[in-house]
Structure 1
Amino acid sequence: MTVLSLLVLISGGGSNLRALLEASSDAEYPARVIAVGSDTDAAGLAHAEEFEISTFTVVPTSFASREAWGAELLEQIERWSPDLVVCAGFMRILPPAVVSALTPRIINTHPALLPAFPGAHAVRDALAAGVDTTGVTVHVIDEGVDTGPVIVQRSVPVYPGDTEHELHERIKSVERDLLVQAVLDIANGAVDLEEIAAR
């Protein structure tokens, strides 16, 4: 079995990271998290430490420019030579030089059915729009904001009276499963990122 090496980038609690760590602790799952990076002292780094996975932090405010931050982040990523970079709740837009160096082997999860509701407030925006269905997208990262080619999507119902927190929690549950499945499909060749990016 060919095993895909994953480097995961996070900014927050790391629930998607934990789902990948738990999946990759199964010998039958064809991917392994080899390192976790963050742009902040994220609470989710504790998950990596629990699973004895190396971590690194590259804080944007420590650099004179976004490009300088991106160059250091890319250097840290490339040090591990991962097969796939997974942005799992990583809340910063990557500089173009980072994207071009890594694409199409860099993917992201987004809590909406793209192209609907891109950006940082997708759940709030879906509620404000009054839709009865939203969902989750796993996509290849390109140089736009949530504009990269879609790998897979799954719908999540919006219930009357949903708060942003309630809807987001329901989305996160689906998001974790979808990300684990997407990485599995990439690892076993059911999904070809080069082909998807060329569409």
Structure 2
Amino acid sequence: MIAAAVFASGSGSNAEAIVQASALPCAVCLLVCDKPEAPVIQKAAGWNVEVFVCDPKTFPDKQAYEQAILTKLQDMQIEWIFLAGYMRLIGSTLLDAFANRIINIHPSLLPAFTGKDAIGQALAAGVKVSGVTIHFVDSGMDTGTIIAQEAVPVQPGDTHHTLHQRMQQIEHRLYPETIHYILTREGKE
């Protein structure tokens, strides 16, 4: 069984969807969180996964921070990383060690609306369609190779909350499906 880690910084709804997906060809063994007060940490108590809280403020630089995470990942023989609301750019320490084995989810149809608050960006731009993208992680901000996308119509009167809720319904299905596809394909190559 493939060993995987989920990285999250916030509430953890996508992390939870991955952990609870029944047909994945991997075992999520580790949650990595960069925020000691993040709600995902309490959620993870019921997931039967180890939680590794690694606060970047306690390290002298990004490389030292990522090296601490890498050591933990290597100790646990983690093979894949799934970012689920992890609000940090991944640096070369992790990118080099996990080349083409880090996947992210983003609440827009990339390349539109990269970075933080993509939903707010979409609403401010007045687009009629936004969506969800799952992509490989590279050194840029939401610039990696796109694996899957699904459109979400922006309805008249949508607020950040209502659009986010509809996007999450898609995310919670699409992310596990895409992980399954990638890991199954990887095993056949």
Instruction: Name the residue aligned to 1:152.
Output: 148
Residues 56-135 of structure 1 mapped to structure 2, 5 A cutoff: 56-135=52-131
Amino acid at match of 2:129: T
Q: Deviations over 1:9-65 (max 9, x none)?
A: 000111011111211xx3x44222111110012211223220221110110100111
Residues 179-194 of structure 1 mapped to structure 2, 5 A cutoff: 179-189=175-185, 192=186
Amino acid at match of 1:13: S
CA distance in 2, matches of 1:175, 1:104: 21
TM-score, scaled to structure 1: 0.89
Instruction: Name the residue aligned to 1:32.
Output: 27
Instruction: Name the residue aligned to 2:16.
Output: 18
2:169 aligned with 1:169, yes or no?
no
> Are the aligned partners of 1:86 and 1:108 in contact in 2 as well (CA < 8 Å)?
yes
CA distance in 1, matches of 2:47, 2:65: 27
Percent identity of paired positions between Structure 1 and Structure 2: 36
Matched pairs, number: 187
CA distance in 2, matches of 1:29, 1:18: 13
> Are the aligned partners of 1:17 and 1:47 in contact in 2 as well (CA < 8 Å)?
no
Shift of 1:93: 0.9
Structure 1: where are the runs of 5+ without partners?
Answer: none
> Are the aligned partners of 2:106 and 2:134 in contact in 1 as well (CA < 8 Å)?
yes
2:169 aligned with 1:140, yes or no?
no
CA distance in 1, matches of 2:12, 2:73: 18
> Are the aligned partners of 1:11 and 1:38 in contact in 2 as well (CA < 8 Å)?
yes
Shift of 1:186: 1.6
CA distance in 1, matches of 2:173, 2:80: 18
CA distance in 2, matches of 1:29, 1:76: 23
CA distance in 1, matches of 2:44, 2:4: 12
RMSD over aligned Cα atoms: 1.6
For 2:60, what is the secondary structure of its paired residue?
A: coil
Amino acid at match of 2:104: N
> Are the aligned partners of 1:12 and 1:89 in contact in 2 as well (CA < 8 Å)?
yes
Shift of 1:103: 1.9
CA distance in 2, matches of 1:103, 1:48: 27
CA distance in 2, matches of 1:154, 1:5: 27
CA distance in 2, matches of 1:109, 1:154: 11
For 2:179, what is the secondary structure of its paired residue?
A: helix
TM-score, scaled to structure 2: 0.93
Shift of 1:169: 1.5
> Are the aligned partners of 2:79 and 2:98 in contact in 1 as well (CA < 8 Å)?
no
Amino acid at match of 1:19: A
Structure 2: where are the runs of 5+ without partners?
Answer: none
> Are the aligned partners of 1:137 and 1:154 in contact in 2 as well (CA < 8 Å)?
yes
Shift of 1:4: 2.8
For 1:186, what is the secondary structure of its paired residue?
A: helix
CA distance in 1, matches of 2:147, 2:30: 23
